[in-house]
Structure 1
Amino acid sequence: MDTTLRDGEQTSGVSFSAAEKLTIAQLLLEELNIDRIEIASARVSEGEFQAVKGITSWAEERGYINRIEVLSFVDGGVSIEWMKKAGAKVQNLLTKGSMNHLTHQLKKTPEQHFSEIAQIIALAKENNIDTNVYLEDWSNGMRNSPEYVFQFLDFLSTQPVKRILLPDTLGVLIPSLTFEFISKIRAKYPNIHFDFHAHNDYDLSIANVMEAIKAGINGLHVTVNGMGERAGNAPLESTVAVINDYLPEVSINIKETSLYTVSKLVETFTGYRIPANKPIVGDNVFTQTAGIHADGDNKNNLYFNDLLPERFGRKRKYALGKTSGKANIEKNLQELGLKLNQEDLKLVTQRIIELGDKKETVTKEDLPYIISDVLDSHTYQEKITIQSYVLMHSKGTRPSSTLSLNLDGEIIEEHAQGDGQFDAFMNALSKIYKSKKLTLPKLIDYAVRIPPGSSSDALCETIITWTNNGKEFKTRGLDSDQTVAAIIATQKMLNVVTS
Structure 2
Amino acid sequence: MEKRKIEIMDTTLRDGEQTSGVSFSISEKLTISQLLIEELHIDRVEVASARVSDGEFQAVKAITKWAGENGYIDRIEVLSFVDNGVSVEWMINAGVKVQNLLTKGSLNHLTYQLKKTPEQHFTEIKQVIDLAGANGIATNVYLEDWSNGMRNSPEYVIQFLDFLATQKIKRILLPDTLGILTPSETTQFINELLGKYPHIHFDFHAHNDYDLGTANVLEAVKAGINGLHLTVNGMGERAGNAALASVIAVIKDFVPEVEVGVRESSIYKVSKLVETFSGVRIPTNKPVVGDNVFTQTAGIHADGDNKNNLYFNDLLPERFGRKRQYALGKTSGKANIEKNLLELGLKLNDEDLKKVTQRVIELGDRKETVTKEDLPYIISDVLDSNLYEQTVVVDSYVLTNSMGLRPSATIGVTIESEQFEENAQGDGQYDAFMNALTKVYTKKNRTLPKLIDYAVRIAPGSNSDALCETIITWEVPTKIFITRGLDSDQTVSAIKATQKMLNII
Shared fold by TM > 0.5?
Answer: yes
Cα-to-partner distance string for 1:92-124 (whole Å, 9 max, x where unaligned): 000000000000000000000000000000001
Q: Which amino acid aligns with 2:80?
A: S
Matched, 1:130 2:138: yes
Deviation per CA, 1:268-312: give whole Å up to 9, x if none.
Answer: 000100000000000000000000000000111110000000000
How far 1:73 moved relative to its partner? 0.2
Kept in 2: contact 1:447–1:463 (CA 8 A)? yes
Q: Which segments of structure 1 move beyond 2 Å, counting only runs of 4 or more?
A: none
Matched residue, 2:460: 452
Partner Cα separation in structure 2 for residue 281 and residue 408 of structure 1: 55
Q: Hey, what's the Cα distance between the residues in 1 that align with 2:420 and 2:218?
A: 71
- Aligned equivalents of 1:236, 1:30: Cα separation in 2: 16
Three-state SS of the structure 1 residue aligned to 2:421 is strand
Q: After TM superposition, give the deviation of residue 470 of structure 1 in Å.
A: 3.4
1:52 paired residue number = 60
1:339 corresponds to which residue?
347
Q: Map 1:59-138 onto structure 2 (within 5 A).
A: 59-138=67-146
CA contact (8 A) 1:287 1:316 kept: yes
Please report the RMSD computed on the Cα atoms of aligned residues, expressed in angstroms. Answer: 0.6
- How do residues 355-394 of structure 1 correspond to structure 2 at under 5 angstroms? 355-394=363-402
Q: Does 1:139 align with 2:141?
A: no
Q: Deviation string for 1:245-276 (max 9, x for gaps)?
A: 00001011111000000000000000100000
The AA in structure 2 aligned to 1:96 is K
- 1:164 corresponds, among 172, 185, 188, to 172
Give the whole-Å Cα distance in 2 for the aligned partners of 1:85 and 1:351. Answer: 66
Question: Are the equivalent residues in 2 in contact too, given 1:361–1:457 (CA < 8 A)?
Answer: no
Query: Hey, what's the Cα distance between the residues in 1 that align with 2:449 and 2:96?
Result: 77
CA distance in 1, matches of 2:401, 2:53: 55
1:471 equivalent among 458, 470, 479 = 479
- Could you tell me whether the CA contact under 8 Å between 1:16 and 1:269 is conserved in 2? yes
Structure 2 partner of 1:309: 317
1:360 positional shift: 4.4
Aligned pair partner of 1:204 in 197, 212, 215? 212
Q: Provide the C-alpha distance between the structure 2 equivalents of 1:213 and 1:237, rounded to a whole number of angstroms.
A: 16
Partner in structure 2 of residue 399 of structure 1: 407
Task: Provide the C-alpha distance between the structure 2 equivalents of 1:211 and 1:306, rounded to a whole number of angstroms.
Answer: 20
Q: TM-score scaled by structure 2?
A: 0.98
Provide the C-alpha distance between the structure 2 equivalents of 1:392 and 1:91, rounded to a whole number of angstroms: 66
Q: Which runs of 5+ in 1 are unaligned?
A: none
Q: 1:361: how far off? A: 2.8
Q: 1:114-152 CA deviation, whole Å, 9 max, x = no partner?
A: 000000000011001000000000000001100000000
1:220 corresponds to: 228
TM-score normalised to the size of structure 1?
A: 0.99
Identical aligned residues as a percent? 77
User: After superposition, what is the alpha-carbon deviation per residue over 1:210-230, rounded to whole angstroms, capped at 9, x for unaligned?
Assistant: 111111111000000000000
Match of 1:235 in 2: 243
Return the alpha-carbon distance in structure 2 between the equivalents of residues 223 and 264 of structure 1. 13
1:162 corresponds to which letter in structure 2? K
Q: 2:45 matched to 1:17? A: no
Amino acid at match of 1:347: K
In structure 1, C-alpha distance between the alignment counterparts of 2:440 and 2:292, rounded to whole Å: 49
Counterpart check, 1:7 vs 2:15: yes
The total of aligned residue pairs comes to 497
Contact 2:327 2:369 in 1 (8 A): no
Higher relative contact order (CA 8 A, sep 6+): 2
What residue is the counterpart of 2:359 in the other structure?
Answer: 351
Contact 2:57 2:94 in 1 (8 A): yes
The residue number in structure 2 matching 1:251 is 259
Structure 2 residue 186 is the aligned partner of structure 1 residue 178: yes
Which residue is 1:272 aligned to? Answer: 280
1:322-377 Cα shifts (integer Å, max 9, x gaps): 00000000000000000000000000000000001113431001000001100110
